[in-house]
Structure 1
Amino acid sequence: MLYVSRWKTTLIWLTVLVSTLVALPNVFSEKQLSFLPSWFPHKQVTLGLDLQGGSHIMLKIERADIVKERLETTVSDIRAALRDAGIRYTGLSGVGQQIQVRITDADKVEPAKKALENITAPVSVGGLTGGSVQEVTLTEEGTLLRFNLTDAGIDYRASSALTQSQEVVRRRVDELGTTEPLIQRQGNDRIIVQVPGLQDPQRLKSLLNQTAKLSFHMVDTSMPVEEAINGRPPATSEVLYSVDDPAVPYLVEKRALVSGENLVDAQASFNQQNNEPVVTFRFDSKGSQRFAQATQQNVGRPFAIVLDDQVISAPVIREPIIGGSGQISGNFSVEGANDLAVLLRAGALPATLTVVEERTVGPGLGQDSINAGVTASGIGAIFVVLFMLGFYGTFGVMANIALAANVIMIIAVLTLIGSTLTLPGIAGIVLTMGMAVDSNVLVYERIREEVKSGRSLIQSIDTGFNKAFATIVDANLTTLIAALVLFFLGSGPVRGFAVTLAVGIVTTVFTAFTMTRWLMAMWYRWRRPKHLPKGVRTGIFDAQNIRFMAIRRYTFAIAGALTLASLVGFMTVGLSLGIDFKGGSIIEVKARNGAADIADIRDRLSQLNLGEIQAQGFGDPSSVLIRIQAQEGGENAEQSAITLVRDELEDTYEFRRVEVVGPAVSGELTKSATIGVGVSLLFILIYIWFRFEWQFAVGAIIATLHDVILTLGLFVFLGIEFNLTSIAAILTIIGYSLNDTVVVYDRMRENLRRYKKMPLNVLIDTSINQTLSRTVLTGSTTFLALVALYLFGGEVISSFTLAMLFGVLVGTFSSVYIAAPVLIAFRLRPETFQKDDVDKSRPVSGKVEA
């Protein structure tokens, strides 16, 4: 019976109290928290970059650099080994991953192979499992020896370089003094860098892009540099250019006197003579010795300080430098000197890192997003609260208390697990508020049905909770599956939405079967009522006996026509793909003064030769959204395009948001998005097949595909940009639609057991009518919450919210007019139509006896 033990009561309210304490710091600022006692929780939800501003940059290590470095090193090792062994050779060269050398004397081939054994010897990869990898293989053709760099060896070097690069990147970012940067490895060749609150993303990118290989070389004065440029420089020298504008050429010896590996410190300071910014450096003992020896032997000669194959400066050695320290001058700005010192202290990257994805949000836009999210959440909550009070009265008060506890628990869980709250994450909370009352509605309507059947109120309450449990679990698990798939295959803000939605589902089920039950038990013990509260007004649906299946052929035809039109539009017109799927850039700017001049922006940017450029108003008159097509030059070309736009507009416009997706990342996102939708459908199909009969599973999938195709049609015919958040919307629609379908199916399954001889179309109509109140109320609360999100949530997620609004409507439609009629088409329970003599003599009624 309806009884909650003391320990359960204690556990419920202890959970709410702890959740409140954990969530409470989020209503205070960091300054206010500093004044609170030490025992009070201080941990807050981590805001995503779209809410607090900052940069998300994905770096890709260039495999070609690894191959080139290994090729040059191996050629050098072969030359040194043959020279040490006194073996003459010719034609030593390397191309791609292959090196060849011809031994002059055929009798010396075997000694040469022996001398080169170390080059082809397996290399230990270390680690817990040990093992080794062969980096170079040797094949012999007479006196010609061919060496091949193996793919396994390159993979090993690339993995090692990525690990080393991650540490170098970490040191460089830490030197900027930013708070809580996230630097993590992704896959075999990527590093993700997230720096919240960063004011200057361009500076970060310039720091991360530079390899920072520093070396000191003697300038070759054996011939004029112009002669070396026009003719052929000595084999031991090469022409390098300075960082000046215009660049100055230098003929520099290839052999480095000292490299940056021997540096132990580098600091920005000022030249005492002319007060110009310089970088002072200090070598270790080995570097000091080599540098002192080189400067002693070359007094009066110039030497070049080279950074990433560019000459920073080329001073003349006036006297030997024996202290192991010196300074680099090169017309630096204060910030330039600081950045160079940061690069030198952090060390050189083993290979070039290319920016393949960038998402930067200015702090001003982040605060606007927070304000929009809070406003939308507040208005959505008011809609839901008033709606529940209007239809359920006292029961509605209980549902609203449970809803408040639910939101507090969501925030508490996000705080505890350290999850990042993004703008789509706030959308997930608003959506959860709309869907959270679904569990309460299912319980309340079950209680009403039990009361109608003649049971006492206390029996009805107890039975209502028990009978609703399986339906609620089935319905919410389908949405949870979609959320989990979204989490594992999504990234960034989309993953944040998935986490919020998944947490919301779990807390919703918890509050429905603990807090709501406790509140109802306490209400019953306090009031001892004999009847349902008068505030319950959902009886208006009881008199309905709508014959839904009578028009199924017409609704099927309409749904089929709309689905066909959507498919035709999808294949002919196609989706307006965002940069997530086709690459390119999106820039949101805001005029520093007055309204934005969109025509002027188009004219100025059209002169930059960046291909198709779109500029349109975005929100208020001062804001403009600029779209730039994917550049043909690859990843680096995308960054160059952004730099050109910045240089052109930065004087009159504030850059509030920048998103750049290179061709490599856009291809991967397209693949993962397609797999995500397919995998979620597969898992849901398996689950429903397991819980119901196969006809139910097929019906659910057909209804879901109908919803997905129509939603894609909405994107096609309205020309809405299709991006990663659109995939999140589709997966959420799948979850919501199946939630609705499973509730109807669950009632059908129950009625199939109770009314074994009832015609299937009558049974389906009866089941839909019995769950009509739940369908209308849940659809309405979710719709109202999404309307608030659409009107007040801001432009950034407007397309996501519009898709969700449409999805709620078509999901509700498909649950009734697609999922249900499919059961008739697949002849669920065919024995229904094979009646024995007894059945023939008994009239069949469409009414259900309690």
Structure 2
Amino acid sequence: MLYFSRWQTFSIWLVVILGILYAAPNVIPQSYLASLPSWAPSRPMTLGLDLQGGSHILLQVERNSLVSERLASVRDDVRSVLREKRIGYTGLSTAGQSVQVRIRGTGEVEAARKALEELTQPITSSLFGGGVIRELELSEPEPGLFRLTLTDEGMNYRISSAVEQSIEVVSRRVNELGTTEPVIQRQGNDRILVQVPGLQDPDRLKDILGQTARLTFQMVDQSMPVEEAIQGRPPVGTSVMYSTDNPPIPYIIEDRVIVSGENLVDAQAGFDQLTNQPIVTFRFDTRGATRFGQATQQNVGRLFAIVLDGKVISAPQIREPILGGTGQISGNFTVQSANDLAVLLRAGALPATLTVVEERTVGPGLGQDSIDAGIAASIIGSVLVIIFMIMAYGFLGIIADLALVLNVVMIIAILSVLGATLTLPGIAGIVLTIGMAVDSNVLIYERIREERRLGRSVLKSFDAGFERALATIVDSNLTTLIAALVLFVVGTGPVKGFAVTLAIGICTTLFTAFTFTRWVVAFWLRRSRPTEVPKGYIHLVPEVTRIPFMKMRLQVFALSILLSIASIVLVFTVKPNFGIDFTGGTLIEVRAKNGQTDIGEIRQKLSEAGIHEVQVQGFGEASDALIRLGAAEDEATGNATVQKAQQILSADYDIRRTEVVGPTVSNELMWSAIVGILVAMAGIMIYVWVRFEWQFAIGAIMSTINDICLTLGFLVVTQIQVDLTTVAAMLTIVGYSLNDTVVIYDRIRENLRRFKKMPLGQLLDLSDNEMLARTVMTSVTTLLALVALYFFGGEVIRSFVASMIFGVVIGTLSSIFISAPALIFFNLRPAKGPLISEEEIRAGEARDLKAEGKQVSAT
């Protein structure tokens, strides 16, 4: 294990050098990076929205709106088809997802059926004609009555097409704003994710994305006073629409569209030469120019309306024919609103209405604070772990610290190469990796010490330590990796960032702790030829312990069951403090522009504005406050409430962060969290079952369920807010606890092979005691990193870290007191029998040493 060929040495150091080179752009000034040749690594990590500020908006295509539009279109198609065939009809109407019509003459029913069947033609088919999608189904409930019904598969296809078209339109709109590196991608069947980093005005982005921007030019009907139309009934073929003025002005608008926004080829903001007021100039294509010219020629002296999304922007009088295909839109524009309208018109109209179902916005100030807090926590956590490892292992601790530093460098390098986004929970993942990375070194070093105590030479102790620790390291890290993969699959936003860094950290840990550390140790052994294993300066656990864990197993089980039942009762009675991720609603973080935050004043201002379901609390510093608004009945109402609250508070407070989660998304997040935890547990259980035996898998799950129940009880008692990051903490606790459990199970499996006649209770005690030093050392290093993150990582992730700290402590105890003793209940081996003395144990270990020596000499 300690021999390395030249190509192996070259490969190891090549990976190390590449890691340093690709991580370097994150600390080198950008001006210097620009001067490097194109082939040199120059790409730093991408910072997430929570670190540089920006907006995360999840848009959803409104199915009901699309259904209504399709029904109106089908109704018009039915009318056109029957009129073209000169077939008399009556009762043309819509109901639910259907359009129905009754044919007057019995002799025309067959002709009507053939004519209407043309509307049911497939709207798409597969490449090889193996399947078709029909949008409409024709039925005849009674003679002469035809019904055209929208099919679910047809509407799903329409929605999918609308999402694809909307992505193009949204991309054009966002790019017109001049933002850098926006992320616009499809999410699920009917949603679009928009992430715009560094955006200073998120409300403007939301306004631009939320507008359908369907522009039409229609004539104004002046045949009757508009007041009569409002009170009575407008003329046939017209509708009453209101202008964007304040107060709005009503107009009677003809339903017939002269020209639509589809015929626009350009739109630019400008200024009127006479009034110097902001305007929007537009230019039609050839077809649009022709139709617009004909309409203005035929209607000189009449008013025509420029309508945007059902509202009249302007209604000028046609003084003379407009034949050039150009015109201008004037109204109560500001410079920015004129620019925004021009952006919307250039980008084109959305094919369907989009609503904001989730919004997470972080101001640039909060982003910089998060970066500073994350760096501080990382440095302090690293320093604490480094000092502890040196105190515990002496020179070997220095080697472990070198591997730890390289581990962090490689994580940063991989994130940079992949173009992955580093978020604040991602920093938490790195800090957690710092604590967990030394676990592999602790496993190796404790095994080396153990082999030395058994009488092996220094060189053979190191060789056996690395060899026997390998399987344990792989098993323990793979269980955590399973939890990280589940987090990535079911998580969203910040949770994915945490999962990515955690998974990368696990992979780099396997390289730095086993490969790099082993090479450095082998190099040191060849050069120094030590006569003894280096010792540390502190010992948290004596080298040899004889704690009778199995004797207290019944008491521990009883206490564990009692606390777990109490936790479950608390969950259903007191209930956790669910955040908006699971309940829906809005979270707004503000900072007073001057002095301290007045919580009472905030509550009073919002209450006077008609916003009653408000919770206001201090958050972080005295100038900060966290405002929580209850979930609205629908997304549109919720968005309006948020905008009103922000406008009221913006005079005295800086809006640092806004998170809006609609009721639909919150339900989905709740279920995905539950499914994520269950899938992670199932995946890890299967892995343990395959690697060990079924008794071990059940014991591991018992321990994990205990950890989850007690952590839930902790969350209820402390009333820490439960959100998506808490789910990440729960899944990480599952992985960490099973990491500990698998390490102990590896030793139990080894002792089962070594001491075939030892009673199970004595063997489990022996295994627990042999691994006690490693378990305690690993927990301490992880807790050191987490405590640094708790006190210096910022208020935003404090609840997440608190859950992790509690979970690490509980996970460590359950691995010792529940996982191993549980094996007695499943008859892994007869628990009773004559105890084996210490001398017999040592004799058995000596026989193993002798047998290994013969194998080595024979080889």
TM range (shorter): over 0.9
State the Cα distance separating 1:721 from its structure 2 match.
0.6
Q: In the TM superposition, what are the counterparts of 1:223-262 in structure 2 within 5 Å?
A: 223-262=224-263
* Structure 1 portions without partners, runs of 5+: none
- CA distance in 1: counterparts of 2:574 and 2:69, whole angstroms: 47
Rounded to whole Å, the distance in 2 between the matches of 1:601 and 1:767 is 59
1:515 aligns with 2:516: yes
Q: Which moved more, 1:112-121 or 1:792-801?
A: 112-121
The residue that corresponds to 1:755 in the other structure is: 755
CA contact (8 A) 2:426 2:494 kept: yes
Secondary structure, in 3 states, of the residue corresponding to 2:154?
A: helix
For residues 166-204 of structure 1, the C-alpha deviation after alignment (integer angstroms, 9 at most, x for no partner) is 111111001000000000001110000000000111100
Contact 2:301–2:317 (Cα < 8 Å) also in 1 = yes
Asked if structure 2 preserves the Cα contact closer than 8 Å seen for 1:541 and 1:772, the reply is no
Corresponding position: 1:612 with 2:613 = yes
Q: SS state of the match for residue 110, structure 1? A: helix
Structure 1 residue 729: Cα displacement: 0.3
The 10-residue stretch of structure 1 (89-98 or 569-578) with the greater mean CA deviation from structure 2: 89-98
What is the CA deviation profile of residues 343-395 of structure 1, one whole-angstrom value per residue up to 9, with x for unaligned ones?
Answer: 00000011110000000000000000000000000000000000000011111
SS of equivalent residue, structure 1 residue 3: coil
Partners of 1:608 and 1:96 lie apart in 2 by 38
Matched, 1:216 2:242: no
Q: Distance in 1 between matches of 2:128 and 2:66?
A: 25
Determine what percentage of the aligned residue pairs are the same residue: 60
**1:677 touches 1:731 (CA, 8 Å); kept in 2?**
yes
Equivalent position of 1:681 in the other structure: 681
Contact (CA 8 Å) 1:610, 1:631: kept in 2 or not? no
- State the alpha-carbon separation in 2 of the partners of residues 541 and 815 from structure 1: 19
Structure 2 vs 1, CA of residues 186 and 539 (structure 1 numbering), >3 Å: closer, same or farther?
closer
Q: Give the aligned partner of residue 377 of structure 2.
A: 376
Offset, 1:800:
0.6
Name the counterpart of 1:268: 269
Aligned partner letter, 1:360: T
Task: State the Cα distance separating 1:646 from its structure 2 match.
Answer: 0.9
Gaps spanning 5+ residues in structure 2: where? 846-859
Q: How does 1:76-475 map to 2 (within 5 A)?
A: 76-125=76-125, 131-140=131-140, 141-475=142-476
Match of 2:216, SS state, is strand
Q: Deviations over 1:542-581 (max 9, x none)?
A: 2321112222222222222221211111111111110000
CA offsets 1:597-636 (integer angstroms, 9 cap, x no match): 111001111223334211111111111011111112x111
Give the Cα separation in 2 of the matches to 1:65 and 1:324. Answer: 32
Structure-1 residue corresponding to 2:848: none
Relative to 1, partners in 2 of residues 1:805 and 1:540: Cα closer, same or farther, differing over 3 Å?
Answer: closer
Structure 1 residues 129 and 535, CA gap change in structure 2 (3 angstroms):
farther
Q: Kindly state the Cα deviation for residue 704 of structure 1 after the two structures are TM-superposed.
A: 0.7
Aligned 8 A contact 1:45 1:411 in 2: yes
Q: Is the 8 A contact 2:54 2:198 kept in 1?
A: yes
Question: CA-to-partner distance for each residue in 1:132-168, whole Å, 9 max, x for gaps?
Answer: 3211121222122111111121111111111111111
Structure 2 residue 61 is matched with structure 1 residue 61? yes
The one-letter amino acid of 1:66's match is L
Structure 2 length-normalised TM: 0.96
Q: Distance in 1 between matches of 2:459 and 2:837?
A: 36
Between the aligned partners of 1:843 and 1:119, the Cα distance in structure 2 is 89
How far off its partner does 1:539 sit? Answer: 9.4
Residue 583 (structure 1) shift: 0.2
Aligned counterparts of 2:380 and 2:772: Cα–Cα separation in 1? 26
Q: 1:121 and 1:640 mapped to 2: Cα distance?
A: 42
Contact 2:540–2:777, Cα closer than 8 Å, also in 1? no
**For residues 837 and 808 of structure 2, what CA distance do their matches in structure 1 show?**
39
Deviates more, 1:265-274 or 1:816-825: 816-825
Q: CA deviation at 1:225?
A: 1.0
1:210: how far off?
0.6
1:117 is displaced (CA, Å) by 2.9
Letter in structure 2 aligned against 1:186: Q
Distance 1:600 1:610 in 2: 13
TM-score when scaled to structure 1?
0.97
Cα separation, 1, equivalents of 2:29 and 2:194? 26
Deviation per CA, 1:76-128, whole angstroms, max 9, x where unpaired? Answer: 11111111111111111112211111111111111222222321222224668
8 Å CA contact 1:67, 1:96 repeated in 2: no
SS of residue in 2 equivalent to 1:44: coil
CA separation in 2, counterparts of 1:568 and 1:560?
Answer: 12
The letter for the 2-side match of 1:574 is K
Measured against aligned partners, the alpha-carbon deviations of 1:662-712 in whole angstroms (never above 9, x if no partner) come to 000000000100000000000111111111121111111111111111111
Q: How far, CA to CA, are the matches of 1:353 and 1:45 in structure 2?
A: 32
Q: Which moved more, 1:227-236 or 1:579-588?
A: 227-236
Other-structure match for 1:601:
602
2-structure distance, mates of 1:236, 1:38:
64
Alignment partners' CA distance in 1, 2:128 and 2:479: 41
Q: Provide the secondary structure at the position in 2 that maps to 1:255.
A: strand
Q: Secondary structure at the match of 1:594?
A: coil
Does 2:562 align with 1:561? yes
1:12 equivalent to 2:12? Answer yes
Supply the distance in 1 between the matched residues of 2:532 and 2:572 (Cα, whole angstroms).
Answer: 58
Q: Distance in 2 between matches of 1:846 and 1:647?
A: 79
The residue matched to 1:273 in structure 2 has which SS?
coil
Report the AA paired with residue 635 of structure 1. Answer: E
Residue 536 of structure 1 deviates from its aligned partner by: 7.1
Question: In 1, distance between residues paired with 2:85 and 2:198?
Answer: 59
Distance across 1 between alignment mates of 2:840 and 2:735: 32
CA deviation map 1:624-668 (0-9, x unaligned): 011111112x11111111111011110110000000000000000
The residue aligned with 1:28 is: 28
How do 1:387-786 and structure 2 match up within 5 A?
387-535=388-536, 538=539, 541-632=542-633, 634-786=634-786
2-structure distance, mates of 1:297, 1:610: 51
Please give the alpha-carbon distance, in whole angstroms, between the structure 2 residues aligned to 1:298 and 1:145: 40
User: Using the alignment, how far apart are the partners of 1:516 and 1:61 within structure 2?
Assistant: 53
CA deviation string 1:322-347 (max 9, x = no partner): 00000000110000000000000000
Partner SS, residue 256 of structure 2: coil
Distance 1:846 1:719, change over 3 A: farther
- C-alpha deviation, 1:500, in angstroms: 0.5
Conserved 8 A contact 1:354-1:635: yes
Q: Secondary structure at the match of 1:625?
A: strand
Deviation at 1:39, TM superposition (A): 4.6
Matches of 2:583 and 2:86, distance apart in 1 = 57
**1:481-528 deviation line (CA, Å, top 9, x unaligned):** 000001000010001100100110111011122110110011011101
* CA distance in structure 2 between the aligned counterparts of 1:317 and 1:28, rounded to whole angstroms: 63
CA–CA separation in structure 1 for the residues paired with 2:620 and 2:77 = 62
Letter in 2 for 1:239: V
Helix, strand or coil at the partner of 1:741: helix
